């Protein structure tokens, strides 16, 4: 199974980029994962939040294929433990899903069209994180999930 993570806009903080790269480098030993940073919408500073969210949705949806299984990260989604996420991913692998797509929206969230397209909505926590911080947490949790699936010692329960 191939995993693609779509994100809106670049990561601004060097410490986050360093952490993300650490976990993505570790993750590549387990699964093919593409970290795809989509450029910010042009002229976004002059747009309303609503229009910006719609433009970002158009960009995101243009990248998703019909047979992709899409997981949207959203604070209103279902919470899973790290082991639960590993089980969920393993279930998708075992079911024959070829392409798993994870979406991290922009700073103002995502449009209803993206939520409708999602096959599953995942919350990393009940707390709100910046969309920049979510990237690091997601990279680490994907790596953790793969070590759980492989029965390695990274995760302690």
CATH of the domain at 96: 3.40.1280.10
| CA pair distance 139, 152, nearest whole angstrom | 17
Give yes or no for a contact between 136 and 41, defined as CB atoms under 8 angstroms apart: no
**Is 156 part of a structural domain of the chain?**
no
Give yes or no for a contact between 125 and 80, defined as CB atoms under 8 angstroms apart: no
**Is 90 part of a structural domain of the chain?**
yes
Phi, psi at residue 154, to the nearest 5°? -60, -45
Residues contacting 61, CB < 8 A, separation 6+: 113, 114, 117
Q: List the beta strands (DSSP E) in 43-98.
A: 69-79
pLDDT at residue 47, as a whole number: 85
pLDDT at 157 over 80: no
Which structural domain range is residue 99 located in? 2-149
**Is 155 part of a structural domain of the chain?**
no
**Could you tell me what percent of the chain has a pLDDT over 90?**
79
**Is 123 part of a structural domain of the chain?**
yes
> Residue holding tokens 């947490």?
137
pLDDT at 43 over 80: no
Q: Band of the pLDDT at 9, cuts 50, 70, 90?
A: confident
**Is 154 part of a structural domain of the chain?**
no
Number of domains present in the structure of the chain: 1
pTM across the whole model: 0.93
Q: Band of the pLDDT at 143, cuts 50, 70, 90?
A: very high
Q: What is the mean predicted confidence (pLDDT) over 7-24?
A: 95
| CA pair distance 109, 91, nearest whole angstrom | 27
Cα angle 110-9-130, degrees, rounded to a multiple of 5: 65
pLDDT at 156 over 90: no
**Could you tell me what percent of the chain has a pLDDT over 70?**
100
């Amino acid at each position: 199974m191939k995993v693609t993570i779509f994100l809106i806009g670049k990561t601004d903080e060097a410490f986050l980029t360093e952490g993300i790269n650490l976990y993505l480098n570790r993750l590549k030993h387990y699964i093919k994962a593409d970290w795809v940073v989509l450029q910010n919408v042009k002229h976004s500073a002059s747009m309303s939040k609503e229009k910006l969210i719609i433009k970002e949705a158009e960009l995101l949806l243009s990248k998703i294929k019909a047979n992709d299984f899409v997981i949207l990260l959203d604070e209103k989604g279902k919470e899973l433990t790290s082991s639960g996420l590993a089980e969920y991913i393993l279930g998708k692998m075992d079911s024959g899903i070829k392409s798993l797509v994870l979406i991290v929206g922009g700073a103002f969230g995502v449009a209803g069209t993206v939520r409708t397209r999602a096959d599953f909505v995942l919350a990393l926590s009940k707390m709100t994180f910046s969309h920049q911080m979510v990237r690091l947490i997601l990279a680490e949790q994907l790596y953790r999930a793969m070590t759980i699936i492989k029965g390695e010692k990274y995760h302690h329960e």
